Amino acid sequence: AQTVTQSQPEMSVQEAETVTLSCTYDTSESDYYLFWYKQPPSRQMILVIRQEAYKQQNATENRFSVNFQKAAKSFSLKISDSQLGDAAMYFCAYRQPYGQNFVFGPGTRLSVLP
Amino acid sequence: DTGVSQDPRHKITKRGQNVTFRCDPISEHNRLYWYRQTLGQGPEFLTYFQNEAQLEKSRLLSDRFSAERPKGSFSTLEIQRTEQGDSAMYLCASSLRYEAFFGQGTRLTVV
């Protein structure tokens, strides 16, 4: 079974600085999708960024970028120019193609210090 | 259409009672998921529908839990004979291609 691990239960970053959240996963599949979701205190999960495993290029969305290392099964999220609104729980998630369920990691709580 | 809608947002029930939650997905999304989340933890998969067919169920989904998605539109999740351990946030999500879009969840408290 696929598993997702986030080894940092909590992280903090100064406003305007850069922070990297770690994620590793275990799978025997070669084709899959990886995601980072954000869950602010209001608790609605919001997609931050998506990476397709067949793409070598790392995904980028504005201040958010990933470092996808397929051989190492590593998928880290870098947040640049951190803002107070970035404070939230961040979950790494994995999914195989064809609609199978999403497997989530335990999450990293990010605090942004003014 | 503004996203995935869940009802109710909060539910307090006495142990042993039955509860039912509703999820309205984004209208064109054919896939619908139910997850359970306890405080400080990641979502745990419960079940998954593609259109009206329930294609996958977690071992977490005991016989007291049942889910339906009639006509491939909205879905309901029923918990019978609730237990205190059922207290959690129940999240619904829908998907068309890649990512899932989540509702705000239903928080269940069993007293």
Whether residue A42 and residue B95 make contact (CB cut-off 8 A), yes or no, is no
Mutate to test the interface with B, among A101, A102, A103 (most CBs of B within 10 A): A101
Taking an 8 Å cut-off on Cβ atoms, the answer to whether A104 and B98 are in contact is no
Q: What is the pLDDT of residues B48-106, one digit of tens each?
A: 999 999 998 998 788 999 999 998 899 999 999 999 999 999 999 999 988 999 999 99
CB contact under 8 A, B42 and A106: yes
Three-class SS state of B47: strand
Q: What is the pLDDT of residues B2-44, one digit of tens each?
A: 799 999 999 999 999 999 999 999 999 999 999 999 988 999 9
- pLDDT digits (tens), chain A, 114 positions: 789 999 999 999 999 999 999 999 999 999 999 999 999 987 789 999 999 999 989 999 999 999 999 999 999 999 999 999 999 999 999 998 776 789 999 999 999 999
Q: Which of B31, B33, B41 sits opposite A106 (nearest CB)?
A: B41
- Which residues of chain A are within 8 Å of residue B31 when distances are taken between CB atoms? 99
What is the distance of C-alpha A34 from the center of its chain? 8
- Within 8 A by CB and 6+ apart from B24, the residues are B4, B5, B6, B7, B73, B74
Among B47, B94, B96, B98, the strongest candidate for a mutation testing the A interface, having the largest count of A CBs within 10 A, is: B98
Give phi and psi for A6, each to the nearest 5: -125, 110
A96, β-bridge pairs: none
Predicted pLDDT at A99: 62
Contact B42 A43 (CB under 8 A): no
